[in-house]
Structure 1
Amino acid sequence: MGLGICVLAAPEIVVGAVIVAGVVVVGFAIKEALDAYERKWAEPETTRPTPETRPVPEVKPAPEARPAPQQPSPTKRPKPEPKGPELPPLGPIETSERERRPECKPVPVPHLGGNDPHNQCADNLPNNTFPGWDVLVNGKNFDALQLATRTLWDVKTDAFDKHESRSQDFFIQMKLPEIQREKRLAEECGYDFVVGVRSKAHQLALERADNTLRAVLMDWC
């Protein structure tokens, strides 16, 4: 109240008071700013933003550059890869049912004996697979086997042409059933059958008696 009286009483005093009051206000504002600055730096270190706590902007990986396909040189032609020989596909070898039968497997057995010229003629057969032996096939002893052509032989060394015609006919009729049986046994196992003879007359007589027979003239014995 005393200050108001003074202001009203003396204008010059009022001007001075305003100046003083302005200084006081400015001083107060400066002090507030200093206090705020001190409070800011008095905060713990964990509250201050650091480079470690600042958010890192997401960086997208750059797209991978794919190598451009190499174009073949126009002056150089690609060499073809070498190819091996074309072979047929391997597979099981097919055999007929009759060839798998154990009785159809050719087995060399000793000559029956008793006729050396006969056995020698059979042994000298060209391409004889088992010279010196008979061959057992399908329960029958054959005189020789040419395995390369799958041919079984019955060798006849009789002096057929020295007999008269009546004896020749009788001889053919006596021997023919057994020859025909041998042929059938051979064919049952997939073999050809040949009768070897020493004379042309014998050959013709057999062919007349059975035109399915194959008679061969043996010129080696």
Structure 2
Amino acid sequence: MAAPEIVVGTVIILGVVVVGVVIKEALDAYELRGSSTEEVEPAPQTKPAPQEPSANRKTKPEPSGQDWFPPVPTEPLERERRPECRPVPVRHLGGNDPHNECADKIPNNSFPGWDVLVNGKNFDGMVLTTRTLWDVKTDDFEKQPPRSQRFFVRMKLPGLRLEAKLARECRYDFIIGVRSAAHEAVLFDEDPTLKVVVMDWC
């Protein structure tokens, strides 16, 4: 058995050593934390902007597609058409009063009293609501013998086909107005693609 003073001294020395070890570990841990904060700096963070109370904040409407792109029209705009396709009222040609009166009475004629210039050609009438151009024939067709009737139609066909083509180029319909069913029948026989109407108002 050792002397009591030696035992007490040993305990004191051991206590000092234990306390020293604890202090050293604490210092080492503190230095480790300090060095890590010096070596790696955190990325700067932006502070969120203070938000207004929901009662005072105005909701911003989401932009619709029309805010970014103009609406596409279903019908082509007048300014986008070829200038020669715009209908221009002009004086009646020829001075044939019965013919002009018949043309003026075309149902829903948009320009009574006038011819209509479209694509370089004077048409006898026009109905804008249906986009239709008219050529009126007021000859006494039914009074001619059949052979003369067919000759007359064949002579006129190139001009009628040209008018139909000019109207079609400008996206208009084309109708030939005649005074008799005989005239309509021969025209249809010679060219079934042409639209022919018997004018019961003439």
1:62-73 aligned at under 5 Å gives the runs none
Structure 1 residue runs without a partner (length 5+) = 1-88
Counterpart CA distance in 2 for 1:146 and 1:97 is: 16
Q: Does 1:193 align with 2:193?
A: no
Give the TM-score normalised by the residue count of structure 2. Answer: 0.63
Equivalent residue number for residue 208 of structure 1: 189
Identity of aligned residues (%): 65
- For residue 91 of structure 1, give the secondary structure of its aligned residue in structure 2: coil
1:99–1:132 Cα change, 3 Å: farther
| Partner in structure 2 of residue 114 of structure 1 | 95
Alpha-carbon distance, 1:216 to partner: 0.1
The alignment yields a C-alpha RMSD, in angstroms, of 2.1
> Which residue number in structure 2 is paired with residue 130 of structure 1?
111
- Decide whether the 8 Å contact of 1:99 with 1:105 is kept in 2: no
Query: Aligned letter for 1:130?
Result: F
Determine the structure 2 residue equivalent to 1:145: 126
Q: Which amino acid aligns with 1:141?
A: N
What does residue range 1-221 of structure 1 map to in structure 2 within 5 Å? Answer: 91-93=71-73, 94-95=75-76, 100-221=81-202
Equivalent position amino acid for 1:143 in 2: D
Residues in 2 aligned to 1:129 and 1:117: alpha-carbon distance in whole angstroms: 19
Secondary structure in 2 matching 1:219 = coil
In 2, distance between residues paired with 1:133 and 1:142?
9
**In the alignment, is the contact (CA less than 8 A) between 1:156 and 1:197 conserved in 2?**
yes
Bigger-Rg structure (1/2):
1
Amino acid at match of 2:112: P
Summarize deviations over 1:31-77 as a string: whole Å, max 9, x none.
xxxxxxxxxxxxxxxxxxxxxxxxxxxxxxxxxxxxxxxxxxxxxxx
Using the TM superposition, give the Cα deviation of residue 95 of structure 1 relative to its aligned residue in structure 2, in angstroms: 1.1
> How many angstroms does 1:208 deviate by?
0.5
Alpha-carbon separation, structure 1, partners of 2:79 and 2:170: 5
| Separation (CA, whole Å) in 1 of partners of 2:78 and 2:91 | 28
Which blocks of at least 5 consecutive residues in structure 2 are unaligned?
1-65
Tell me how far 1:114 sits from its aligned partner: 2.2
Aligned length: 134
